Structure 1
């Protein structure tokens, strides 16, 4: 077994999952990803030769570490208590949390529909107020053959001055008794006052609803969606991932009744989200950001960023020679963090 041989007697056997993108994945027979690039830099700095081997999943890779088939497992591996009982890790290379991703709910969709409607209603009602008061001022001016109240008439006698002053008074519903003296003129003013109140009420209600809708939209965007016991819909997770382990702990403690739907790759999770079976996934925040950057997703959102954080490292076989592990750890401290290799 390579782990029991002298230093560098054989290249290290490094397992890389088939698809835990963006951290580690295989394309056309070549390993890639942020964690893979980071490992290559570590291997070069520590002058340790290695052979990369594809493993089907994180769970499979951890199993092969315990049996000695692998020396190192490379991905964005969260250090969890369960994993520490089974294998060893290098010093941390990064830090990340969990994110719940999924399509926007019906409330969010309703808000998206309402916002432009409410905005247009507010604008239309304001325009109606202006037009209504202007038409009424014109009608009263024609019936009364001008405006005869001293508070309306301009001192310079220009027709435009009293007309626009009457327009403003009708728009603001102030001093309506000064508009005229005939019954016809007062009828125009009364109808204008009634219609203006209705339109103004529409304006106020639409603006209030618009502000409230935006507040709801912002609260939905920034809220923490809790996986409570009432939420029994399944959630997609990577098999053996920190999200999988955390969900099982939450279920065992009775905090959440969410059923984890386990997949072996991010490609499988993406396909499941596309067919909405299930329609949510609990994954690393780095993977969530990568997923949302895809042009194929227009309605997918991060529903919640969970505050818990995990240190991430490369997992190593318990039988790996101590001097080899020391060289790997020293190299990790000498180079940049894994975020430096993000695409």
Structure 2
């Protein structure tokens, strides 16, 4: 009987300790100056990742205290060392971090991007170079000149020359050339002949030139406006130019790690010296506006937000980005129980599947 009572007391004690562990106040680290994901404003946490965590804590009836963390890298270290039970922000899952700490399931993905000062140099020569090197434009020009030349020759043969007073020149070769150019530009082509065969040929040529001209204009417009689209950061020449101009990067983040790795891979040590780690959107924007650097690099979500916050957005553009996306998640503290890890993962999965997570992300990303 005494043994049974002893076992019962032990069981009650274990249950009590489990309940106490479950009821403990969690230490939640929030990365500062990392909007739209997280920040501390007057000591109060806010951002998309913070709101996601607050939803989970409310659902689970968990109490927690907030711990300010300076950078994403500091958040990883704090979680790995057990200084916090959970680190909250848009923390990119990369191999170097997985070696230190455990992540929750992902709740979103993001890429890296550059915000750059627009250059006001005249772009005519680069544009002409692009136009002259495009094979579609070259083919369209050759086709246009060939069809109209053939059409002019047939019309000349049918009508025994061009006899309208607005086409006739002193020399027959000049008359033929003028008629040909009229077909090319589509001006005054009704003067090329008034017989039914001539009119039919002129109509066919006109339709053909309209189609070819449409192809030409569409291709040229694409080349003109493609400079306003972000380039792929895999283009080494663009990256070298950006680094040589100076890049302010969000310090203690994957952006800084990635950019320094790329600079080393280029084999130009001087380029790595042009990388300036800075923390906080306001500081990054100030560096860009002062002209200390010509480019700022961070997660695409943060870059988009900065581009909306800057006073004169027309003077800046999102100039480049990586088109591969990196998963982002919370980081579990080394002392967080498996039960709580599973519950956090279950809550994130449930919110993603039900569609409750998407409005949170959209609201903050559009802020």
TM-score above 0.5, yes or no:
yes
Q: CA deviation at 1:235?
A: 1.6
The answer on whether the counterparts of 2:81 and 2:334 sit within 8 Å (CA) in structure 1 is no
Q: CA deviation at 1:295?
A: 5.7
Q: Please state if 1:316 is matched with 2:328.
A: no
Matching residue of 2:248: 236
Aligned length: 262
Equivalent residues in 2 for 1:56-75, closer than 5 Å: 56-75=70-89
1:44 and 1:339, CA in 2 relative to 1: closer, same or farther beyond 3 A?
same
Supply the distance in 2 between the matched residues of 1:311 and 1:256 (Cα, whole angstroms): 30
The answer on whether the counterparts of 2:232 and 2:323 sit within 8 Å (CA) in structure 1 is no
1:253 and 1:110, CA in 2 relative to 1: closer, same or farther beyond 3 A?
closer
Q: Please state if 1:30 is matched with 2:44.
A: yes
The answer on whether the counterparts of 1:92 and 1:312 sit within 8 Å (CA) in structure 2 is yes
2:322 aligned counterpart, secondary structure:
strand
Matching residue of 1:304: 320
1:255 and 1:319, CA in 2 relative to 1: closer, same or farther beyond 3 A?
farther
Q: CA deviation at 1:289?
A: 1.6
Q: Please state if 1:175 is matched with 2:165.
A: no
Q: Normalized against structure 1, the TM-score is what?
A: 0.65
Q: CA deviation at 1:36?
A: 1.1
Supply the distance in 1 between the matched residues of 2:107 and 2:342 (Cα, whole angstroms): 14
Equivalent residues in 2 for 1:198-277, closer than 5 Å: 215-225=223-233, 226-228=235-237, 230-231=240-241, 232-233=243-244, 234-254=246-266, 258-259=271-272, 260-277=275-292
Q: Normalized against structure 2, the TM-score is what?
A: 0.61
Q: Please state if 1:285 is matched with 2:285.
A: no
Q: CA deviation at 1:110?
A: 3.9
2:83 aligned counterpart, secondary structure:
coil
Residue by residue, what CA displacement relative to the aligned partner does 1:172-225 show, whole Å, maximum 9, x if unpaired? xx2367xxxxxxxxxxxxxxx9xxx9xx9xxxxxxx999858624324525325
- Unaligned runs of at least 5 residues, structure 1: 115-150, 153-165, 178-192, 201-207
Residue by residue, what CA displacement relative to the aligned partner does 1:54-88 show, whole Å, maximum 9, x if unpaired? 22222332232232221111111110111111111
- Unaligned runs of at least 5 residues, structure 2: 1-17, 128-161, 171-177, 186-215
Between Structure 1 and Structure 2, the one with more helix by share is 2
1:340 aligned counterpart, secondary structure:
helix
